[in-house]
Amino acid sequence: MLLNPKGNGIIALHFTSNCERSDRNSLFHRAMETANISSSGSCDFISKLPDPILHHILGLLNPKEAVQTCMLSKRWEHLWTFLPSLNFSFDDFGHDDYYHGYCFDRNDAGRFAKFVNNLLLRREHMDLDVFRLSCEHFDYSEIERDWIHYAFEHNTRVLHLSLSDSVPPYIYTCTSLEELYLNDNHAYNRRYFNRHEIDSSVHIVNLPNLRKLTIYRSALTSNDVKNLLSGCTILEFLRLDCCFLFDCVIAHKSLKHLAIVNCLFEETQLVISTPNLLSFLYDDGHSFRSPSNTTLNMPSLASSYLTIQDYSRMKCFERMTTSLSFLTNVEFLELHFIFEDYWLEELAVLPFELPIFSNLKNLTVSIFTFSCFQLVNCILKSSPNLEKLTMLQEGYVSQGEEGASTNESTNISSTIAIFPYKKLKIVVVKYWIYNQMIQQLENTLKDGAQEFENLKIHWSMY
């Protein structure tokens, strides 16, 4: 039974006609306008559409708006009870406070629970396509679990959960799921405040139809990752975002797309063995807690995006080049490397050797100091078939930093010697500030481009 936190039993259905925080151009208001036109004698084309199409349209609306369509006409009175997709967000039920801005209290929680309970009780008993539940500030975990169990019982294909409490374990045995998004704040906060107490939270996993999995703000042990992957036999997309990871080993035969973003590595090991992986995104973000021991086995990889961040420029380049040694088969490569010590003495020669990127055709790389061109040039020398080079200026360069790079600027023409590469067709430069580095780069590119009639150079500001 679905219960209201302020009382027991089934509550009479009541939906407010006040469309809070909705856009006047929303589909709901367009439908209302269509109904008004119909009442004045014009033809109501929308109402004549088949029920499955109207159900799909209603599924795109906010649930509060979808329910309010029952006032349009007899034709629409019960259509909302066949909603194929449900998207509940506690954020839509807050209130404006003079002192605290937009906030939540027990009355808001009661209105939210009342609305969700009644909608689920009145909805027709039919399978769900999509079920989204966002209630991170909602403090009634038992009611949350009732709603999630409803999705479980109605064979939902796509499930998105952002909860205030831990994820119910039966979610990992929902055999109908094809896409799963989990925002597990409970596990993340438990790890953050108890830095030496973490247990496996994922045990039995049976998701035979799951193809897409996103986990945001969670804490995963090596056993958690292993159990997840072993129970998702046809998984194709995996994204780990803002997670605590412990000795992370990702080994899966069917995985095609992998993203690891802003994760904190509590141990030193990151092992990825994915023979059919096509794209790989790795972003250090601002964690500064990255794996020192990385092993990548991705022989089918076609595109990769890497962001490496470190306080030391030398360590940043070293980690970048170590990662690149595993990416020799890529066709598309995007690199961002961030370090803090802008005033270090220029590195005359990068003490790292790169493999040959024989398939690389499209390279995007960040630039914000003259030293960045050393890595650019090393990659160019190792990319005989490169056709397009994009350079993105990142970070703000103050006047002091610009002046500190004066000694480096004299070497830029020899550092970025891109023009011996005959297959290069397009060079794109995007910048925030036209500083000394960009000016020197522009002069270098103009001088070199005179030798190649087919080379196109594009300049643009963000």
């119909």: which residue's tokens?
A: 38
Q: Which of 285, 305, 213 is nearest to 254 (CA)?
A: 213
Q: CB-hemisphere CA count at 13 Å for 103?
A: 7
The helix or strand, by DSSP H or E, that contains position 327, with its residue range, turns out to be: none
The highest-confidence range among 149-153, 180-184, 321-325, by mean pLDDT, is 149-153
Please give the Cα distance from 342 to 307 (Å, whole number). 18
Which of 368-372, 412-416, 435-439 is predicted with the least confidence, judged by mean pLDDT? 412-416
Which of 75-89, 177-191, 211-225 is predicted with the least confidence, judged by mean pLDDT? 177-191
pLDDT (0 to 100) of residue 247: 81
pLDDT (0 to 100) of residue 257: 97
All residues at 6 or more sequence positions from 348 whose CB lies less than 8 Å from its CB, including other chains:
none
176 pLDDT exceeds 60?
yes
Region 335-357: what's the mean pLDDT? Answer: 61
Output the DSSP codes for 31-46.
Answer: HHHHHHHHHTTS--TG
* pLDDT band of 246, cuts 50, 70, 90: confident
Region 127-134: what's the mean pLDDT? Answer: 93
Q: Which of 302, 324, 290 is nearest to 257 (CA)?
A: 302
* pLDDT band of 314, cuts 50, 70, 90: low
Percent of the chain with pLDDT over 70: 68
Which of the 8 DSSP states describes residue 449? H
pLDDT (0 to 100) of residue 380: 85
């092992």: which residue's tokens?
A: 271
201 pLDDT exceeds 50?
yes
Structure tokens at 307: 């962001």
Output the DSSP codes for 256-276.
Answer: -EEEEES-EESSSEEEEE-TT
Mean of all residue pLDDT scores within the chain: 77
**Residue of higher predicted confidence among 232 and 440:** 232
The model's pLDDT over 42-100, given as tens digits with 9 standing for 90+, comes to 566 788 888 889 888 888 888 888 888 888 888 888 889 999 999 998 887 766 665 55
pLDDT (0 to 100) of residue 330: 93
The highest-confidence range among 128-137, 138-147, 351-360, by mean pLDDT, is 128-137
The model's pLDDT over 229-243, given as tens digits with 9 standing for 90+, comes to 999 999 999 999 988
> What share of residues in the chain are helix, strand, coil (percent, to 5)?
30, 25, 45
193 pLDDT exceeds 50?
no
CB 240 within 8 A of CB 261: yes
pLDDT (0 to 100) of residue 357: 92
pTM of the model: 0.80
HEC string of 144-172 equals: HHHHHHHHHHCCCCEEEEEECCCCCHHHH
pLDDT (0 to 100) of residue 390: 94
Sign of CA dihedral 239, 354, 274, 205: negative
Pairing, β 101-103 against β 95-97: antiparallel
**Residue of higher predicted confidence among 28 and 294:** 294
Output the DSSP codes for 194-224.
Answer: STT-----------TT--EEEEES-EE-HHH
Structure tokens at 375: 């890595």
**Residue of higher predicted confidence among 266 and 461:** 461
408 pLDDT exceeds 70?
no
Which of 105-109, 159-163, 391-395, 454-458 is predicted with the least confidence, judged by mean pLDDT? 105-109
pLDDT (0 to 100) of residue 409: 43
CB 34 within 8 A of CB 46: yes
Which of 184-198, 402-416, 420-434 is predicted with the least confidence, judged by mean pLDDT? 402-416
Structure tokens at 295: 């092993």
* pLDDT band of 397, cuts 50, 70, 90: very low
Please name the amino acid found at residue 192: Y
Please give the Cα distance from 459 to 150 (Å, whole number). 54
pLDDT (0 to 100) of residue 402: 45
All residues at 6 or more sequence positions from 222 whose CB lies less than 8 Å from its CB, including other chains:
246, 247, 248, 249
The model's pLDDT over 276-311, given as tens digits with 9 standing for 90+, comes to 999 999 987 655 566 767 888 999 999 999 887 765
